[in-house]
């Protein structure tokens, strides 16, 4: 069978489960902006994913606005991209249920992120946390998205999305869903914790010193980079010299991603440099790139009604694409519409 061709379309999302980090910016948002204008782009604040772990109802709406403010401040433009929050388009939950019935328990058991997050507590976490990759597949396939820009940690979930699309197409003898391509490229696909270069930088680590938040002010950004853990050796002369040095490699990769260059080019600019030289240069670069975004985020956050309006208008556009695809899915599955 020849694969049906689908119009190129980008979908991606971020959970409003805590403040945005530099990992979210470099691994996701900055790249979302880069794809805008090149093809149709749909970016979602995935609030239904956030509630797979407890969220204070009083905070959730504000966190949703804050992720939206991060999108807007970084350069996503509601006239060029569809921006909305997931719960305003109920088709996500509906297609998510169908995919719960397509995905196999054995597939879910292989998801490494679930194993990491649930740890020894797997009996006590929500069923939603276990099933969430099927909802993520629904987020993507509800728009027949062909490209999904994500950080390295999401690769397995986009591969699962392809498995779900293939099994659906095979079981129902159709070519209805595309096999989506994960877009994971560039130097910053896995930004590490500033205090421990073996752990991913995340919204929820214990200490604020281990991450850069998109809302941090210039002094805080500079302080966090200057205190970042490193080994004592200077930077190597070639990029190969970073291979067993996770903290050093992380700082070089952050510099590269912030400045749109490769890690090789950073090393060529700072061969053999000591931390006393490189850390202040990195801090200055990060402040120059991030401070304008954090100021713009604060400006958006001062007008929540405007953010709500943008998300509501985006949801109308999202529904116009999603609802016909959901209806066709129901027809393929044989769910009666009368």
Residues serving a catalytic function are 117, 200, 203
Nearer to ligand AMP, 42 or 150 (CB): 150
Q: Torsion over CA of 74, 311, 217 and 50, rounded to 10 degrees? A: -110
Residues 134-173 that bind ligand AMP (CB under 6 A): 150-151, 153-154
For the chain, the residue count is 338
- Interface with ligand AMP includes 191 (CB under 6 A)? yes
Contacts of residue 227, Cβ cutoff 8 Å, sequence gap at least 6: 194, 209
- In angstroms, the Cα distances linking 110 to 21, 103, 123, 184, 331 are 27, 12, 16, 21, 31
Nearer to ligand TRP, 76 or 283 (CB): 76
# chain residues binding ligand TRP, by CB under 6 A = 13
Distance of CA 44 to the CA centre of its chain: 10
Residues 152-171 that bind ligand TRP (CB under 6 A): 154, 157
Segment lying near ligand AMP (by CB under 6 A), choices 132-140, 159-167, 198-206, 250-258: 198-206
- In angstroms, the Cα distances linking 28 to 14, 41, 148 are 8, 13, 10
- Interface with ligand AMP includes 201 (CB under 6 A)? yes
Distance of CA 68 to the CA centre of its chain: 13
E strand residue ranges, 111-270: 147-149, 181-183
Binding partner at 189 among ligand TRP, ligand AMP, none, C-beta below 5 to 8 Å by kind: ligand AMP
Nearer to ligand AMP, 49 or 144 (CB): 49
Query: What are 136's two structure tokens?
Result: 């993520």
* CB of residue 335 to ligand AMP, shortest distance in Å: 31
Residues 255-284 that bind ligand AMP (CB under 6 A): none
Kindly list the residues in this chain that would bind ligand TRP in the complex (CB under 6 A): 11-13, 15, 46, 49, 136, 139-140, 148, 150, 154, 157
């Amino acid at each position: 069978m020849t694969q049906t061709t689908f119009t190129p379309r980008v979908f991606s999302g971020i959970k409003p489960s805590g403040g945005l980090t530099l990992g979210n910016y470099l691994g996701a948002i900055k790249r979302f902006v880069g794809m805008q204008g090149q093809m149709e782009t749909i970016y979602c604040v995935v609030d239904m994913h956030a509630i797979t772990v407890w969220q204070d109802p009083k905070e959730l709406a504000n966190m949703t606005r804050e992720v939206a403010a991060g999108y807007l401040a970084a350069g996503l433009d509601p006239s060029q991209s569809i921006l909305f929050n997931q719960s305003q388009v109920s088709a996500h939950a509906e297609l998510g249920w169908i995919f719960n019935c397509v995905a196999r328990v054995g597939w879910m058991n292989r998801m490494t992120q679930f194993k990491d997050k649930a740890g020894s507590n797997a009996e006590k976490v929500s069923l939603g946390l276990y099933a969430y990759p099927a909802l993520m597949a629904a987020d993507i396939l509800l728009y027949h998205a062909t490209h999904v820009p994500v950080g390295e940690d999401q690769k397995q979930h986009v591969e699962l999305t392809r498995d779900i699309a293939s099994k659906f197409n095979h079981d129902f003898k159709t070519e209805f869903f595309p096999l989506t391509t994960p877009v994971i490229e560039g130097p910053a696909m896995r930004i590490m914790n500033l205090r421990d270069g073996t752990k991913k930088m995340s919204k929820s680590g214990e200490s604020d010193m281990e991450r850069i938040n998109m809302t941090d002010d210039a002094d805080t950004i500079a302080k966090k980079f200057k205190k970042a853990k490193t080994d004592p050796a200077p930077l190597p002369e070639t990029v190969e010299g970073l291979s067993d040095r996770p903290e050093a490699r992380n700082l070089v990769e952050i510099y590269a991603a912030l400045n749109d260059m490769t890690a090789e080019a950073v090393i060529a600019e700072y061969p053999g440099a000591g931390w006393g030289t490189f850390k202040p240069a990195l801090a200055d670069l990060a402040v120059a790139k991030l401070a304008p975004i954090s100021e713009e985020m604060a400006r958006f956050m001062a007008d929540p009604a405007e953010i709500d309006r943008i998300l509501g208008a985006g949801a109308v556009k999202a529904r116009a694409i999603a609802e016909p695809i959901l209806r066709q899915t129901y027809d393929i599955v044989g769910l009666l519409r009368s």
